[in-house]
Amino acid sequence: MKKIRFGVLSTARIGVQKVIPAMQKGEHTEVVAIASRSPEKARDAARRLGIPRWHGSYEALLADPDVDAIYNPLPNDQHVPWSIRALEAGKHILCEKPIALSAAQGRDLVEAARRHPCLKVMEALMYRHQPQWRKAKELVETGQIGALQAVQVLFSFYNDDPGNIRHDRAKGGGALMDIGCYPISLSRWLFNAEPQHVLGLIVNDPRFGVDRLVSAILDFGVSHTTFVCSMQAARFQRVHLVGGEGWGELSEAPFNPPNDRPCVISVQQGGQVKRLELEACDQYGIQGDRFAEAILDDAPVPTPLADSIRTMEVIEAIVASGCSGTWVRPGSG
């Protein structure tokens, strides 16, 4: 069965620990090359992961004729520049989230993609491909918990390492960009709508100048999302979906669940609570296969860039609200 040959830009941890091992097992994906600005890092990663080729520069990887698509896990500020360069080199691009530093920068990528209509571009929002979230989406769409009224998300972890890139403001650090993008994307997807206004409260770290704690309300008119994200709090993840006739809860790392055991959704319907068990899987591998299938079938990618830009607009509105203390309409600035 035909596979898409991927090259990986950098030896970033998310790539070498999560995405590459998953894509090496994919039905339609294989990783044939990896690059780093340090030839030694590229060589060591290639040997450790069993990747056939390595390159001592990103430019060399983009010039590799045996690479069909690029996976870009570079720092946030390098997502758009190197994704555009990949398109110009004739490569499809799977780019890590968040897609850009701003909605305006994201639109630059949209314009570049329009100039290369035969190439596919997708943001790597892996959670949307996980069976537990496909089931949650089904619960909402089929009315099994009634009309969705509210989504509540808590997502936190602890990291105060000064050398961690999440604490570099120039590179797009901060809790909102790193993990706040998940509840925003999730809510828009589940409600199948855009928030009319948002309200944000932001606590910045005085040492690093990035947001370490963010609370937000997304107003969808007849329904709401509330979420809290922090990168200096105890590790915790939980999502509640509240409908008019029932509720659902995803409590075991809903955004990065284990890949070696089933996931469980607790659902309350008709006064009874039941556990829905979903098969063990690797969401990164599924993501790679769905993207590869879009390339092979010349079909739309599962998550189009327009969706990614709208998430960026909500992020910007939350930041603006945090500064002004008022409700802000996404896309208004």
Predicted local distance difference test score (pLDDT) of residue 332: 86
Closest among 55, 139, 211 to 70, alpha carbons compared: 55
pLDDT tens sequence across 204-258? 999 999 999 999 999 999 999 999 999 999 999 999 999 999 999 999 899 999 9
Q: Which residues contact 164 (CB under 8 A, 6 or more apart)?
A: none
List, in sequence order, every beta strand (DSSP E) within the chain: 4-9, 29-35, 53-55, 69-72, 92-96, 121-124, 148-158, 197-204, 211-219, 224-230, 232-243, 246-250, 263-269, 272-278
pLDDT band at residue 271 using 50, 70 and 90 as cut-offs: confident
Mean pLDDT (whole number) for 303-329: 98
Predicted local distance difference test score (pLDDT) of residue 245: 95
267 with 241: CB under 8 angstroms? Answer: no
Q: Is the pLDDT of residue 181 over 80?
A: yes
Two tokens at 134? 């496909």
Query: What distance lies between CA 135 and its chain's CA centroid?
Result: 19
Sign of CA pseudo-dihedral 104, 99, 304, 201? negative
Q: Is 161 helix (H, G, I), strand (E, B) or coil?
A: coil
Q: Return the DSSP state at 328.
A: B
The average confidence (pLDDT) of the chain is 97
183 cis-preceded (ω within 30 degrees of 0): no
Mean pLDDT (whole number) for 155-164: 96
pLDDT tens sequence across 69-98? 999 999 999 999 999 999 999 999 999 999
Q: Is the pLDDT of residue 316 over 90?
A: yes
Q: How far apart are CA 211 and CA 183, in angstroms?
A: 16
Give the length of the chain: 333
Predicted local distance difference test score (pLDDT) of residue 1: 67
Two tokens at 219? 């107003």
pLDDT tens sequence across 95-147? 999 999 999 999 999 999 999 999 999 999 999 999 999 999 999 999 999 99
Q: Return the DSSP state at 239.
A: E
Q: How far apart are CA 38 and CA 49, in angstroms?
A: 17
Q: Is the pLDDT of residue 66 over 70?
A: yes
List, in sequence order, every beta strand (DSSP E) within 173-314: 197-204, 211-219, 224-230, 232-243, 246-250, 263-269, 272-278
Q: Is the pLDDT of residue 67 over 90?
A: yes
238 with 245: CB under 8 angstroms? Answer: no
3-state SS string for 106-125: HHHHHHHHHCCCCCCEEEEC
Sign of CA pseudo-dihedral 166, 167, 172, 178? positive
Query: What distance lies between CA 55 and its chain's CA centroid?
Result: 26
Q: Is the pLDDT of residue 325 over 70?
A: yes
- pTM equals 0.96
Phi/psi of residue 283, nearest 5 degrees: -65, -25
Q: Is the pLDDT of residue 13 over 80?
A: yes
Q: Is the pLDDT of residue 270 over 90?
A: no
How much of the chain, in percent, has pLDDT values that exceed 90? 97
Positions marked catalytic: 97
Q: Is the pLDDT of residue 51 over 90?
A: yes
Predicted local distance difference test score (pLDDT) of residue 221: 96
Phi/psi of residue 307, nearest 5 degrees: -65, -40
pLDDT tens sequence across 231-246? 999 999 999 999 999 9
87 with 26: CB under 8 angstroms? Answer: no
